[in-house]
Chains A and B, each alone.
Chain A
Amino acid sequence: FQYARVGADVTMKCGSMDWDAAVTWTVNGTDIDESHLNGSYLILKNVDLMQSGQYFCYEGSSWHLKYQTYLRVGTPPKEPVLMCRSNNYPKGFYCSWHLPTPTYIPNIFNISVIHGTKEMVCEKDAVLKNRCHIRYLQLFSTVKYKVTLTVTNALGKNFTTLTFDEFAIVKPDPPESVVAKPVPNNPRRLEVSWQNPSSWPDPESFPLKFFLRYRPLILDQWQHVELSDGTSHTITDAYAGKEYIIQVAAKDNDIGTWSDWSVAVHATPWTEEPKHLTTEAQITETTSASTSSFMAPPTTKICDKGAMVGSGAVAVCWTAGLVVAAYSVLFI
């Protein structure tokens, strides 16, 4: 193996051959043009990634293999990105890292965690190569944790450090199994329920509080509710007939930061079924020009609760002008 920095000049000697010997160099099976040779030396100027490969040097006439090497072109590591987080307080925390730009050659990462004067062991994650876990030995510590990550490769090394209090890095995972359901006979309600993230080990002693946000799909403005306990909430001010998008976030009651938002769920409040399947509808001449998916309801039902308005029905009802006016604002 041989490593070279991008942009550097590489000189390869053909083993023990004299400078003036006649040789042929190949890279990945292809002969190299003589213009790159200085005697029997191979000169590669300003190497780039494409020049990585297997290089062979053969004696001119006998075609004996005199030298071979694998050249890997890469870069020394830039300052790594390190993040530490406790999503399972009070059990411990994990640290995760990566390089901002690839080096194209193998890198070795070394992490050290120091708490006061003690060096702590960071156990490698079973699955993820760039993550390790620390278990808290003590709770409510006044001393900060100092985590140093060093990255080394054949062309150089770099490092970064994080210093933090036990409490500062607490951030739960988002709530799980978020479910939103309409409430029968309540056109403005949606019942939302969720569960504590499964990674949070002790919600009894370390309760979570929650933040709910919801909006109809057609609007950009979110509405927010903060809930200090319980894992369910009923939205009572939903616009009838509108599809909603709902998300929930969690936070330890007292310390740390909010989790990311949960997976979004969609729900539409309950709407009264239009009674269009009666024979009355077939007899009357009031065929609406509506192209909505359900058949035109009998005239008496057109004005109910704006159920048809959301689908852009053409029919306009004078007696329910107020309702229409309210909803028409949404279409501006």
Chain B
Amino acid sequence: GDSWGIFTFLCAALCNLPALPALNCSEELGAGQSIQQTYDLTRYLEHQLRTLAGTYLNYLGPPFNEPDFNPPRLARAERVPSATVDLDLWRGLTDNARLAANYRAYSRLLCYLRVLDGQVGTAELRHRLAHFCASLQGLVLSIGGVMSSLGYPLPAGPPAPSGAPPASNDFLKKMDDFWLLKELQTWLWRSAKDFNRLKKRVPPAVVTLRLEARGF
């Protein structure tokens, strides 16, 4: 009831914040965004996530922090587009589709992480999450920049959370968090491969992006 309304409001409010395509900073960006830098950002985030996930899973406690924990995927509507994809389909993605998939995924992941940020207990965890969200937003902007420089339209901002109501109990909520982190991790692994492919197909525009002060 109430919690659903709050959740929707929070997400709508927070999710409209990162919907700043590189267009706002186009004067500073100049010719375009280097794909190499975006690739480097995904590697940096993957590294950051390892520490963050370790801390967060410990906070959730067992069994979530056990290395062999391998739960079945519950039949709840998936909130975040999954990185999992058929091999041939992935190979055949156009540059536009490839970039758009990344942009959409990270926009939504950022949104959910921000909601998480408001709920976690310890100060250390809040600090780490905040830092990670800032970096993740940088990635979203970076991908947006690449798309703009290549003349691709940016996908529409993240829609209101579809279908799935928030978890009805504490354990299910923790499961949701667990899968959120898993999806994030898998997307970062996938993005490294996505951007490797893009590097080969699109000559990188060599411009240093001066990122906004937001979180950096």
Contact = CB atoms under 8 A, between A and B. Distances in A.
Interface of A: 90, 116-117, 136-144, 146, 163, 167, 204-207, 253-255
Nearest to A167: B189
A255 B196 CA distance: 13
Contact of A205 (B68, B84, B91): B91
Contact of B186 (A90, A136, A141, A253): A141
B50 interface: no
Contacts of B91: 205
Given A253-B196, A254-B43, A140 B189 contact: yes
B86 interface: yes
Contact of B87 (A138, A163, A253, A254): A138
A184 B101 CA distance: 52
Contacts of B192: 253-255
B151 interface: no
A137 B43 CA distance: 25
21 contacts: A116-B73, A136-B87, A138-B84, A138-B87, A140-B90, A140-B186, A140-B189, A140-B193, A141-B186, A142-B179, A142-B182, A143-B73, A204-B197, A205-B196, A205-B197, A207-B196, A253-B192, A254-B46, A254-B189, A254-B196, A255-B192
Closest 10 CB pairs of A and B: A254-B192, A140-B190, A140-B83, A144-B70, A142-B182, A142-B186, A205-B197, A141-B84, A138-B84, A139-B87
Contacts of B82: 142
B183 interface: yes
Contacts of B46: 254
Contacts of B196: 205-207, 253-254
Interface string B51-75: 0000000000000000010101100
Contacts of B214: none
A138 B185 CA distance: 16
Contacts of B179: 142
B68 A163 contact: yes
B85 interface: yes
Interface of B: 43, 46, 68, 70, 72-73, 82-87, 90-91, 179, 182-183, 185-187, 189-190, 192-193, 196-197, 200
Nearest to A161: B68
A219 B48 CA distance: 39
Given A206-B193, A255-B189, A142 B83 contact: yes
A173 B70 CA distance: 29
A140 B86 CA distance: 9
B95 to A, nearest CB: 13
B44 to A, nearest CB: 12
B74 to A, nearest CB: 12
Contacts of A163: 68, 70
A139 B85 CA distance: 5
A139 B86 CA distance: 6
Contacts of B70: 143-144, 146, 163
A139 B90 contact: yes
B84 A140 contact: yes
**Most chain-A CB neighbours within 10 Å: which of B179, B187, B189?**
B189
B68 A142 contact: no
Nearest to B70: A144
Given A138-B87, A142-B183, A254 B193 contact: yes
B87 A90 contact: yes
A140 B83 CA distance: 6
**Most chain-A CB neighbours within 10 Å: which of B90, B91, B193, B200?**
B193
A205 B186 CA distance: 17
B190 to A, nearest CB: 4
A167 to B, nearest CB: 6
Contacts of A142: 82-84, 179, 182-183, 185-186
Contacts of A207: 196
Contacts of B68: 163
Nearest to B46: A254
Given A140-B189, A141-B186, A205-B196, A116 B84 contact: no
A138 B186 contact: no
A177 to B, nearest CB: 23
Contacts of B190: 139-140
Contacts of A138: 84-87
A253 B183 CA distance: 21
Contacts of B197: 204-205
B72 A116 contact: yes
